[in-house]
Amino acid sequence: MILVLLIVILLAAGLLAWVAARWNEAAARWISLAAVSADFVLSLELWRLSSPAGHFLPNGPWFFEFNVPWVPSLGIHFHLAVDGLSLLLVALTFLLGIMSVLTSWRLDSRALLRPPRRDGHLHV
C-alpha cells in the first residue's frame, strides 16, 4: 500500500500546487517540496523495512508488492513491486526531485516571460 501512496502523494500535491500557484507562487513551491520530501522519507522507510537477505539474488523475491485486479474480465492487473535495485532507484529519484524543486526556487517566473536578450554581437 505504501507503493500506491508514493504515487498518490505526488498526484495530489501536483494538483494542489497547480491550484495554489494561481494565488501564491511560493505556496506551490512549498507544496511541491513537501510532497517530494514526504515521498523520499517513505522510500527511506521502505528501505528500512526491506529484508537485507536476497538484495542481489537474480530471482530474489519482491520486497514490497501491490497487485489488484483492474479489469478482471480481460485479466488486467494493477501491479506495483520493488526489489533491491528498484528501491534504490526510487529513493534516488526522490532525492533528485528534492534537489530539482530547490533549484527551481532560484528561477524567476517573470524572467521566463520576457523576450530573450540578444547579446550575441558582443561575443563576435
Instruction: Say which residues have a Cβ less than 8 Å from residue 24's Cβ, sequence separation at least 6.
Output: none
What percentage of the chain carries pLDDT values higher than 90? Answer: 47
Q: How many domains does the structure of the chain reveal?
A: 1
32-91 confidence digits (pLDDT tens):
999 999 999 999 998 888 766 555 566 667 888 899 999 999 999 999 988 888 888 999
Higher confidence at residue 67 or residue 114? Answer: 67
Q: Mean pLDDT, the chain, as a whole number?
A: 83
Higher confidence at residue 107 or residue 4? Answer: 4
pLDDT of residue 124: 45
The count of other CB atoms within 10 Å of the CB of residue 17 is 20
* Domain of 71, in residue numbers: 2-113
- Looking at the predicted structure, is the pLDDT value of residue 123 above 50? no
Domain contains 123: no
Domain contains 119: no
The count of other CB atoms within 10 Å of the CB of residue 96 is 12
pTM above 0.95, yes or no: no
